[in-house]
């Protein structure tokens, strides 16, 4: 049975109010402020790239949106995951998108995600921590979400506060 939705953690142009939100996430069923351990960079192309804590990667994305959605909902996150040291907190939003088969492929193309790893970004299932003031935590705890990240940052300016755009 397929999941009726898939959750993405976004931290750049897919966030509310930014260039790619309306076209790719404007139909989100839910938007929740959240954070993920990692480092955030402003790339020369005008958008961000993230490096994430490998300890938080639960699975790698595939080219089957429905299988990825099912994997997300089968994953049972620990009540309190082990702390991740040495990383900042990347601030962003969890977007709950309906119909993974239709919602996810356009975002994968935008992010140049390829399941074989040859694209600019990779997509991984990670644990995101909802902002407690959002009403989705701390009682609900960490949530498994899909996130786009870069295995290497070619060039970019480190964003110490984990917020893009820096301001």
- Rounded Cα distance between 69 and 88, Å, is 27
Range picked from 8-22, 73-87, 122-136 for highest mean pLDDT = 8-22
Residues 3-12, mean pLDDT to the nearest whole number = 94
Residue 104 near residue 148, CB atoms below 8 Å:
no
| Digit-coded pLDDT (tens) for 122-153 | 999 999 999 887 665 445 678 999 999 999 88
Identify which has the larger pLDDT, 84 or 161: 161
Strands 5-10 and 143-149: parallel
Per-residue pLDDT at 141: 78
| Digit-coded pLDDT (tens) for 17-43 | 999 999 999 999 999 999 999 999 999
For each of the domains in the chain, give its residue range(s) and CATH number, in order of start.
5-80+89-158 (3.10.490.10)
Q: 105 to each of 28, 69, 114, 117, 141, how far by Cα in Å?
A: 15, 12, 10, 15, 28
Identify which has the larger pLDDT, 166 or 147: 147
């Amino acid at each position: 049975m397929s999941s009726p939705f898939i959750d993405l953690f976004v931290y750049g142009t897919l966030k509310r109010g930014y260039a790619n939100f309306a076209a790719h996430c404007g139909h989100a069923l839910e938007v929740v402020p959240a954070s993920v351990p990692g480092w955030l960079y402003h790339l020369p192309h005008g958008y961000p790239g993230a490096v994430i804590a490998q300890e938080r990667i639960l699975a790698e994305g595939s080219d089957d949106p429905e299988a990825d959605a099912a994997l997300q909902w089968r994953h049972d996150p620990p009540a309190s995951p082990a702390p991740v040291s040495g990383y900042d907190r990347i601030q962003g939003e969890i977007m709950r998108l309906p119909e993974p088969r239709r919602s996810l492929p356009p975002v994968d193309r935008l992010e140049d995600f390829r399941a074989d790893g040859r694209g600019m970004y990779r997509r991984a299932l990670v644990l995101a921590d909802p902002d407690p003031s959002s009403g989705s935590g701390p009682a609900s705890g960490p949530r498994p979400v899909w996130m786009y990240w870069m295995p290497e940052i070619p060039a970019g300016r480190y964003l110490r506060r984990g917020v893009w755009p820096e301001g």
